Amino acid sequence: MAESAENRLNRLVQANSEENRYEWARKWKAGGKPVAAMLCSYVPREVLYAAGFLPWRVTGVWSEATPLALLYRPSWSTPRNTRILELALRGDLDFVDALVGTDWDIDLKRLWDEWTALKSPKLSHLMFVPRFTTELHQATFRQSIAKLLAEVEASSGVKVSPQALNQAIRLYKEMRELIQRMYELRKRETPAVSGAEALGITTAALVMPPEEFNTELKALLPYLETRQASLASKHPRLLVSSDFLDDLRYLELVEDTGCVVAMDDLDTGSRYFMTGPEESATDPLMALAKGYLARTGCPRMADWDEQINQVIKWVKEFHIDGVLELRLNYSMIRHMRSPFLKSAMEEAGIPFLSLPREHHFANESQLRTRIGALVEILQAA
């Protein structure tokens, strides 16, 4: 009997769950092909894919303590990176052939240092990503991408042609377009998917082989067109802003308080998928540099005004009633931007709440109370 569309959707949503996320890498490796662990959304996956790697975004351990990593990382470092290091030190990530990090912030850079020093992956590369987006910075980012390309070519023995790069760009562009169609369906009064489901789908896209993901989502879109997410309440509609959020339970908790997360401002969501690189017959590396720098920036980028204005645009476009910021604990740059996001929201008349969170699902009761209070106020409005 053919699998129901709902079951198929659930499988996709759970593709990055703690039980399932390794399966994609294992299958890829079973085909004799290498896996590249990506630490950040600024790593151009197209380059890795074109060289035969499965670009696989690493998620930290959710369910257990981190005794090994805490020998190296202080209590005030971001828990997401500590939880990734724990996995690496436990040996759970020994299958990784290449590790690619960036200077998203120093904390992430140091995770790369620790993983590299303690586990010596076959290929370990740290990318420089400019904090500005002018032509000069694009050109320098292009050099940085070219350097990554040279390293993956040397490691894999695969010479990547401009055509192969363009093909990868096309594939990921298709992925983005499919996800954008799914986001369109979130604009409805009753969105086709809940916020948690949407995050499940976008995080699936970050670990699954792109063709397989595209096939799945393409097949599901007609069903999603007709679907109404099962939600405790359709009102108020929230936008959630955060970084490195990949545990669906956070958004399930938010929605469980009686609202719908109808849009996000996440590097694991809209910031990665709403725009992206275009093919280029003349210089695909430059196309990648431009595409990755042109996307809505993470707080580490200098264009805070543009980032905040984009949130305001999304608020209008997705009929959002309030913005909930879930700051990853000890993410210094997010925390520094937070007061400005708050004041911009106040100025725009958008209700706003900022709360700290762990990487793994924790402090449920406190979060439920605080978010519940916001939801209640918005429901009464």
Which residues contact another protein by CB under 8 A? Answer: 71-74, 76-77, 103, 105-107, 109-114, 117-118, 126, 128, 130-132, 136-137, 140, 143, 302, 304, 330, 332-333, 335-336, 338-340, 342, 354
CA distance 364 to 357: 10
Taking a C-beta distance cutoff of 8 angstroms, is the pair 234, 189 a contact?
Answer: yes
Torsional sign, CA 109, 110, 115, 117: positive
**Of the two residues 95 and 340, which places its CB atom closer to another protein in the complex?**
340
Residue 246 beta carbon to another protein: minimum distance, rounded to whole angstroms: 21
CB of 137 to another protein, least distance (A): 7
Cβ nearer to another protein, comparing 130 with 291? 130
- Of 102 and 203, nearer to another protein (C-beta) is 102
Which residues face 242 on adjacent strands? 266
Q: CA 96: distance to chain centroid?
A: 19
216: tokens are 């799945």
- Residue 86 or 255: the one with the smaller Cβ distance to another protein is 86
305 Cβ neighbours under 8 A, 6+ residues apart? none
Question: Considering the complex, what minimum distance in angstroms separates the CB of residue 301 from another protein?
Answer: 10
Q: How far is the CB of 288 from another protein (least distance, A)?
A: 18
The least CB distance from residue 5 to another protein, in Å, is 45
In the complex, the smallest distance separating the C-beta of residue 119 from another protein, rounded to whole angstroms, is 12
Q: Which is nearer to another protein, 84 or 367 (CB)?
A: 84
With respect to another protein, which residue has the nearer C-beta, 71 or 381? 71
We find the least distance from the C-beta atom of residue 107 to another protein, in angstroms, to be 6
Q: Which is nearer to another protein, 5 or 118 (CB)?
A: 118
